[in-house]
Amino acid sequence: MGQATSATFPDWHGTTILAVRKGGSTVIAGDGQVSMGQTIVKGNARKVRRLAGGRVVAGFAGATADAFTLIERLEAKLEQYPEQLARACVDLAKDWRTDRYLRRLEAMLIVADASTILTVTGVGDVLEPESGVAAIGSGGNYALAAARALIDGALDAEAIARRAMAIAAEICVYTNGELTVEKL
């Protein structure tokens, strides 16, 4: 049997992760769809997890095994730097960028605690959104635009996240309405 190539394993798609912070509340929502090419493989995947004894929530987009590896590494960083989310994420991003094994991982994370939302990427970025809204994944731009449009209205963070994710699911074929929502 020959070496695996990208033609052997078609692209996996199907993630929208959205974080919203408003009124002292932070919510991360993720849809449940996983697609392989034009086929929906799973509709109820859980792409949002609680970490650090429930004080941190992380959502992931990208290859699932890669994301789980990163979440495990983030948990270790959070143990090393308790109550220091930004420092843990910067340390993870540094390792991700410089470690030969981690550098090959294809995923992105949105991580939040009670006061901060951060997007962490494999190129070394640790970004805090200006507007209290961040999104990643194939439907991320749709959810981001919808949440930004709703952020100044009367809805709370969870209602904004749910409505924005519903809008993304109506537009993006790789996003469904089967949500996991975690609130801090």
CB neighbours (10 Å) of residue 43? 14
Token representation of residue 32: 């449940």
CA 7-106-6 angle, 5° bins = 5
Side by side, the strands of the sheet bearing 34-36 are 12-13, 34-36, 39-42
d(CA 85, CA 113): 7
Contact by Cβ (8 Å): 124, 109 = no
Closest CA to 93 of 82, 79, 107, 83: 107
Catalytic residue numbers, as ranges: 15
Token representation of residue 134: 């961040």
Helices (H), 53-133: 64-80, 85-98
Find the largest Cα–Cα distance for the chain: 59
